Amino acid sequence: MNEKNPQFNRPEPLVVGSASLETKKEKARQIVERFGEYHYEQFSSRQRTILESSEIKKSKCEKLAIEKINEITNSILSEFKLDVFNVPERNVHLIPDKLFKEITKDETITGATSEIMQLILLNAEALKDPMSRISAMLHEIIHLKSFLVLEVHEDLKRVYRGGVTVGALREKSERVGYFMMFGGLNEAIVTEIQKRYLKKCFSEVVSTLEKMSDLGSYDQFLIDEYHWQDSKEARNFKRKLIKEAFPDRGEDEIVWVGRNESGYDLLGYYGQRKVLNYIVDVLFKDNTDRFNSEDEVMKLFFKAHFDGKLFAIAKLIEKSFGEGSFRIIGMMSEKDENSIGQVMDYLQKHRKKI
């Protein structure tokens, strides 16, 4: 593991499937090549022209944010004794709203990560505020640095594992249809990591910017926005927002608030994170002989996002909630709100007294 000089290429993903060893090696190599110097070569000339002509030039604060996010996420990887690596700036694309929606075909999101293409797309028009934009960068880079396994056959290539998500392998998908499990849990884990390190990210970006000269207007806007969050007016708006609109949340869920109560941004996937935090609370209470704090339990989930090892977590969960409960958690979606309530109800009803 090279901690001092992490390279601009990720470790090769694992590959499963019926393809030849040569094909598997080639598909793994392509993932690495799409991560850095050869990133744009995966696109057709038309696609590249559209992307490069539409892409919005990054400001100093955005370039600096990518650098700081790499440092923060590499410190997490180092803590878990995993290989560190940097997400290159070129793999993060700020694009207009229309193009973003055409590519993602999703009206509900402002950021997206493609493990196959090794790219991050951010809707620059929906993420106008620099604090929202940096927060989204942190979220998506955590996704892009996740554990990755491909399923490769001679006529098929797709993601089998990404973070803690698990897809149906071809044999099963041919019988019952393709599906991905643990999408809701995956987003909950990513957002909890984002929440834990977001203030550090803002602080490091702003403190570095303030030592630099020749800042652009967007860079100065970030500095002003960041410091304004501690003003009396901002604190009062945050308290009002939580009391009147989001009484079940804490102020640490707020990414930023605007002047004159003009707007705000909250961390996402709150329902999924409530389920995750309930699981963590129960696992800690049931295993105080093994863990010193809930934080230790939460870090099991953080680590699984980066190394893919779910067996120990599944074993603890089934001890506390019964056989089959881990699979039930896998049914919690990142989009379907009903699935969140259904999973929480199941867990509460099947909670074992240990």
Say what the pLDDT of residue 272 is.
98
Backbone angles phi, psi at 257, to 5 degrees: -125, 150
Q: What is the domain count for the chain?
A: 3
Say what the pLDDT of residue 353 is.
78
Distance CA 87, CA 137 (A): 11
Last residue of a domain, one of 181, 211, 237: 181
Last residue of a domain, one of 266, 293, 319: 266
β-strands 148-153, 14-16 pairing: parallel
Distance CA 21, CA 209 (A): 48
One domain for residues 84 and 151: yes
Asked, for residue 354, whether it belongs to a domain, the answer is: no
One domain for residues 195 and 226: yes
Asked, for residue 94, whether it belongs to a domain, the answer is: yes
One domain for residues 262 and 275: no
Asked, for residue 5, whether it belongs to a domain, the answer is: no
One domain for residues 235 and 340: no
Burial of 307 (0-12, 13-18, 19+ CB in 10 A): middle
Look at residues 276, 273, 254, 275 and name the one whose alpha carbon lies nearest to residue 265: 254
Query: What are the helix (H) ranges across the chain?
Result: 21-33, 45-54, 60-79, 97-104, 130-144, 170-176, 183-209, 217-228, 232-244, 270-286, 294-307, 311-321, 325-330, 337-349
Helix (H, G, I), strand (E, B) or coil at 16: strand
Say what the pLDDT of residue 82 is.
95
CA distances from residue 294 to 13, 163, 289 in whole angstroms, order as listed = 31, 21, 12
Q: Are 186 and 276 in contact (CB under 8 A)?
A: no
One domain for residues 277 and 322: yes
Distance CA 271, CA 296 (A): 22
Asked, for residue 4, whether it belongs to a domain, the answer is: no
One domain for residues 46 and 165: yes
Name the residue range of residue 316's domain.
Answer: 270-349
One domain for residues 119 and 156: yes
One domain for residues 30 and 100: yes
Asked, for residue 3, whether it belongs to a domain, the answer is: no
pLDDT tens sequence for the chain (354 residues) = 444 556 667 899 999 999 999 999 999 999 999 987 889 999 999 999 999 899 999 999 999 999 999 999 999 999 999 999 999 999 999 999 999 999 999 999 999 999 999 999 999 999 999 999 999 999 999 999 999 999 999 999 999 999 999 999 999 999 999 999 999 999 999 999 999 999 999 999 999 999 999 999 999 999 999 999 999 999 999 999 999 999 999 999 999 999 999 999 999 999 999 999 999 999 999 999 999 999 999 999 999 999 999 999 999 999 999 999 999 999 999 999 999 999 999 999 999 876
One domain for residues 120 and 262: no
Asked, for residue 7, whether it belongs to a domain, the answer is: no
Distance CA 158, CA 182 (A): 17
One domain for residues 95 and 113: yes
One domain for residues 20 and 169: yes
Say what the pLDDT of residue 1 is.
43
Size of the chain in residues: 354
Sheet holding 119-123, edge to edge: 92-95, 119-123, 111-114
Last residue of a domain, one of 181, 206, 233: 181
One domain for residues 68 and 34: yes
Say what the pLDDT of residue 2 is.
43
Asked, for residue 214, whether it belongs to a domain, the answer is: yes
